[in-house]
Amino acid sequence: MAERSIRFKESKSVTSTPASATRRSRHILPGFGLSLGYTVTWLSLLVLIPLAGCVIKAGGLSWRQWVNMLGEPRVRAALVVSFGTAAAAAGINSVVGLIIAWVLVRYDFWGRRLLDALVDFPFALPTAVAGLTFSDLFVQGHHKIGWLAAIWNPVADRLTTAVNGLWPGVLLPDSLHGVYTPFAIVLVLIFTGFPFVIRTIQPVLEDLDPEIEEAAASLGATPWQAFRKVIFPTILPAWLTGLALAFARGIGEYGAVIFVSGNIRGRTEIVPVLIVEQLDQYKYDGATGLSVVLLVGSGAVLLTINLLSAWRGRRG
């Protein structure tokens, strides 16, 4: 490269006087204005203005409208289905996710890398495709039986009879089948949610200090005690965060659920389906109201988890 004299841009030279430096850009690197401009424009267009519209709409609802909307049996049923299935799925995911994260981090075996890559599949697979294939796997009747239905339904029927035997009438006959039941929704939400738990726990597990575990073992702890008293408290905040993320995703999930749920009013209808129906009828008030309920629900869970983690962090 030919020698070139070092030319300092005037305003960015370290030898320029402070007065002249402040008159021009304060930043050494260029692009402040451009990047700020594009960022702000894009964010406003995509996030701020639309959210403002939603807030204005929601703020325009009267108290009476909220009460009426939340009092409707159909809305209440949908809220129970949405929050209930998401909670059940998140609960199961928290256990399953912990086990899988543990296995992926602590054990080495043939195929571990492949399994690790597969964990991201629910992130990459479109929800409609996931819903389509799950509903096909569990469909029963007409001229076709899905693979999993053939295996699972007999088991499910026996389970249902057994449970009904102990507690008569608690489960409807098809309750544990894989389509058109809340159980089906839970299954699909397990699929879409378990990567959240695994991916939040994995980094923390990987960063665990082996010395602490060795210290516990040298003090006589069994592996289970070491897990319970040493490892689990360390990963607890990440575990809770993963759980909250899976829950938030679960109450908002639309594409995957509508294929398997059948949208049976009162039994498998989720809140997003109600929102879409209200929008189709141009009932923007109702749709916005329901959306706010969903947002508040997931926001509250995330906030609680964050506060819990911060509180534990300060204590521990």
Partner 1 sequence: MKPGEGSSVAVRPRAGAGWVVRWGLIGFTVAFMGVFILVPVVNIFWQAFSGGLGKYAQAFYVSPPLPGVEGAEADKLADLAENAAQNRAAIGMTLFVAAIVVPLNALFGIAAAWWTTKFKVRGQSLLLTLIDVPFSVSPVIAGLVFVLLFGAQGYLRGPLQDLGNSWGQTLFLGGLVRGLVYTGTHIIFNWPGVVLATCFVTFPFVARELIPVLQAQGSDEEQAAVSLGANGWQMFYRVTLVNIKWGLIYGVILCNARAMGEFGAVNVVSGNVRGANVTVPLRIQQLYEDFNLPGAFALATLLAALAVVTLILKAVLEKRVEKAT
CB of 128 to partner 1, least distance (A): 4
CB of 249 to partner 1, least distance (A): 8
CB of 236 to partner 1, least distance (A): 20
CB nearer to partner 1: pick between 53 and 154? 53
CB nearer to partner 1: pick between 165 and 210? 210
CB of 76 to partner 1, least distance (A): 19
CB of 315 to partner 1, least distance (A): 24
CB nearer to partner 1: pick between 66 and 102? 102
CB nearer to partner 1: pick between 44 and 161? 44
CB of 156 to partner 1, least distance (A): 14
DSSP string, the chain: ---------GGG-TTS-HHHHHHS-S-SSS-HHHHHHHHHHHHIIIIIHHHHHHHHHHHTS-HHHHHHHHHSHHHHHHHHHHHHHHHHHHHHHHHHHHHHHHHHHH---TTHHHHHHHTTHHHHS-HHHHHHHHHHHH-EETTEE-HHHHHHHHHHHHHHHHHHHHSTTSS-TTTTSSSSSHHHHHHHHHHHHHHHHHHHHHHHHHT--HHHHHHHHHTT--HHHHIIIIIHHHHHHHHHHHHHHHHHHHHH--HHHHHHHTT-TTTT--HHHHHHHHHHTT-HHHHHHHHHHHHHHHHHHHHHHHHHHHHHHHH-
CB nearer to partner 1: pick between 169 and 220? 220
CB nearer to partner 1: pick between 95 and 172? 95
